[in-house]
């Protein structure tokens, strides 16, 4: 009877271990939704660099009572353009703050002049420092913040009506009910 060398067992064991990692990773509730390190924690700091002539916002605005929305966007971002009507809709219900990642103020102003300004305040993030602090890696990304200044939902990608109804409003309702 031939003996099996221990090194011959290594490839099948390694394959089984990798398969197990992938299997466990796919058991999330919705594997298409990336987890966020921000949810459940205080909103990261905001550096209030103004985009004239729009009002600026700061950390105090994010700790005020009620739900707030922080939207990271840029004029060159096609999905930002497509989600803009839904951001306008959110602005009818909640204070919405914008973090702009354009290089110049003129680009931001042209975008808002063309599509309308839903923001109660806008800050500029040309070097992406605030985006990094908030965990933003692709635009658009939107954060929903409770009355204590904690992130209740970090939404990646353009907000659609379907996402508003199926994911965002239930998260806001749960946060306002205290659950």
The neighbouring-strand residues paired with 124 are 100
Q: What is the DSSP string of 31-43?
A: TTSPP-SSTTSBP
Q: Dump pLDDT digits (tens) for 60-116.
A: 999 999 999 999 999 999 999 999 999 999 999 999 999 999 999 999 999 999 999
pLDDT band at 26 (very low <50, low <70, confident <90, very high): low
Q: What's CA 125's distance to the chain center, in Å? A: 15
3-state SS record for 46-66: CCCCECCCCCCCCHHHHCCCC
What is the structure's pLDDT at 32? Answer: 47
Q: Does the pLDDT at position 28 exceed 90? A: no
Using the CB atoms, write b or e for 61-71: b if 16+ within 10 Å.
bbbeeebbbbb
pTM above 0.75, yes or no: yes
3-state helix, strand, coil in the chain (%, to 5): 40, 15, 45
Mean pLDDT calculated for residue range 160-177: 91
pLDDT band at 154 (very low <50, low <70, confident <90, very high): very high
Q: Give the length of the chain.
A: 179
């Amino acid at each position: 009877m031939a003996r099996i060398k221990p090194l011959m067992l290594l490839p099948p064991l390694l394959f089984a271990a990798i398969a197990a990692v992938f299997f466990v990773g796919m058991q999330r509730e919705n594997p298409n939704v990336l987890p966020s390190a921000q949810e459940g924690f205080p909103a990261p700091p905001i550096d209030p660099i103004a985009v004239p002539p729009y009002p600026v916002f700061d950390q105090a605005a994010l700790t005020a009572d009620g739900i707030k929305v922080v939207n990271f966007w840029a004029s060159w971002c096609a999905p930002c353009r497509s989600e803009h009507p839904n951001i306008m809709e959110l602005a009818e219900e909640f204070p919405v703050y914008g973090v702009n990642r354009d290089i110049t103020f003129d680009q931001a102003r042209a975008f808002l002049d063309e599509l309308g300004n839903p923001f109660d305040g806008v800050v500029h993030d040309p070097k992406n420092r605030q985006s990094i602090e908030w965990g933003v890696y692709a635009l658009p990304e939107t954060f929903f913040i409770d009355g204590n200044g904690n992130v209740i939902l970090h939404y990646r990608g353009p907000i659609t009506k379907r996402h508003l109804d199926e994911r965002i409003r239930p998260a806001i309702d749960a946060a306002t009910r205290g659950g």
